[in-house]
């Protein structure tokens, strides 16, 4: 699960990020509304944790602009404001949940799980992606090939998931780099090629096709199914 944390308080932001990372969550942390807008436009997140008291704009303004761009990423507000009118206003602007600081991190983790369950329930197809002999369970992050589980690293899973969710479109190298790296991370020049190579080796070379000058896309389902059938006949 990849999160965007929007929090200007250095101590609180670092503590929240470290706690979430201990739960095996990926966190990009920005400290103002402008950086939050850039991050939300250039990366895909499973949820946004939003402080309302930002130095350059009100959190409500960021939320309103986010929803105005038809960005439906779940937003959980984390704020010291405990008045009912603030809670109602944030929810009316499009927030999915509202927690008053200090936030219990166990409760925050539970709220994040609930938000993700609700998001998954709105689109059954997002739970299991099937492409020929390949099955990808997004909730459990399990991959199977011809019914047999294939062990993937977190980044291998992320690359494969990104390609599956965008099929049959071509996915650019930059889009895959956005999946692999967080806000402000240093990008290794050949990281995408390395993970594509690993995935081809674990499944089959035809699983991911290179589109020269454009990026990558999933291989043809009929071709993959035919390859599996051919290998089964040879083995029998």
**From first to last of its 236 residues, what are the pLDDT tens digits of the chain?**
789 999 999 999 999 999 888 887 889 999 999 999 999 988 888 899 999 999 999 999 999 999 998 898 999 999 999 999 999 999 999 999 999 998 888 888 888 888 777 766 555 544 788 999 999 987 778 999 999 999 999 889 989 999 998 998 999 998 898 888 766 666 677 899 999 999 999 999 999 999 999 999 999 999 999 998 888 888 87
**Measured distance CA(164)–CA(154) in Å, rounded:** 15
Residues 161 and 205 in one domain: yes
Residue 55, sorted as left (phi over 0), alpha (psi -120 to 50) or beta, turns out to be: alpha
Q: Are residues 87 and 152 in the same domain?
A: no
Q: What is the pLDDT of residue 125?
A: 46
Among 212, 217, 214, 204, residue whose Cα is nearest residue 168: 217
Q: Give the domain-ending residue among 121, 149, 165.
A: 121
Cβ distance 26 to 182 under 8 Å?
yes
- Cα angle, residue 115 at apex, residues 7 and 57 outer, rounded to 5°: 30
- The number of folded domains in the chain is 2
What CATH number does residue 134 fall under? 1.10.10.10
Domain ranges, residue 152: 126-235
Same domain membership, residue 106 and residue 9? yes
Give the 3-state secondary structure of the chain.
CEEEEECCCHHHHHHHHHHHHHCCCEEEEECCHHHHHHHHHHCCCCEEEECCECCCCEHHHHHHHHHHCCCCCCEEEEECCCCHHHHHHHHHHCCCEEEECCCCHHHHHHHHHHHHHHHHHCCHHHCEEEECCEEEECCCCEEEECCEEECCCHHHHHHHHHHHHHCCCCECHHHHHHHHCCCCCCCCCCHHHHHHHHHHHHCCHHHEEEECCCEEEECCHHHHHHHHHHHHHHHC
Amino acid 183: pLDDT = 61
Show which of 103, 121, 139 is a domain's final residue: 121
- 175 in the same domain as 147: yes
Q: Please indicate, yes or no, whether the overall pTM of this predicted structure exceeds 0.75.
A: no
- Could you tell me which of 87, 199, 92, 107 has the C-alpha nearest to residue 152? 199
Residues 67 and 114 in one domain: yes
């Amino acid at each position: 699960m990849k999160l965007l944390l929007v929090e200007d308080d250095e101590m609180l932001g670092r503590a929240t990020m470290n706690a979430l990372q201990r739960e095996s969550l990926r966190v990009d942390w920005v400290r103002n509304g402008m950086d939050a807008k850039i991050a939300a436009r250039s990366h895909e997140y499973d949820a946004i944790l939003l402080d309302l008291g930002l130095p350059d704009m009100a959190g409500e303004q960021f939320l309103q602009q986010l929803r105005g761009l038809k960005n439906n990423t779940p937003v959980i507000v984390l704020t010291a404001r405990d008045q009912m009118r603030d809670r109602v206003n944030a929810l009316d602007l499009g927030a999915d949940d509202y927690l008053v600081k200090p936030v219990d991190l166990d409760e925050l983790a539970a709220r994040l799980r609930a938000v993700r369950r609700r998001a998954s329930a709105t689109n059954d197809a997002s739970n299991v992606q099937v492409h020929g002999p390949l099955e990808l369970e997004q909730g459990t992050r399990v991959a199977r090939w011809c019914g047999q589980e294939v062990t993937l690293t977190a980044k291998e899973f992320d690359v494969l998931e990104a390609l599956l969710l965008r099929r049959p479109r071509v996915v650019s190298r930059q889009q895959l780099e956005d999946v692999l790296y967080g806000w402000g991370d240093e990008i290794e020049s050949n990281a995408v090629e390395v993970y594509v190579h690993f995935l081809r080796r674990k499944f089959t070379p035809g699983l991911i096709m290179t589109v020269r000058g454009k990026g990558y896309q999933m291989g043809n389902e009929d071709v993959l199914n035919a390859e599996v059938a051919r290998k089964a006949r040879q083995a029998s």
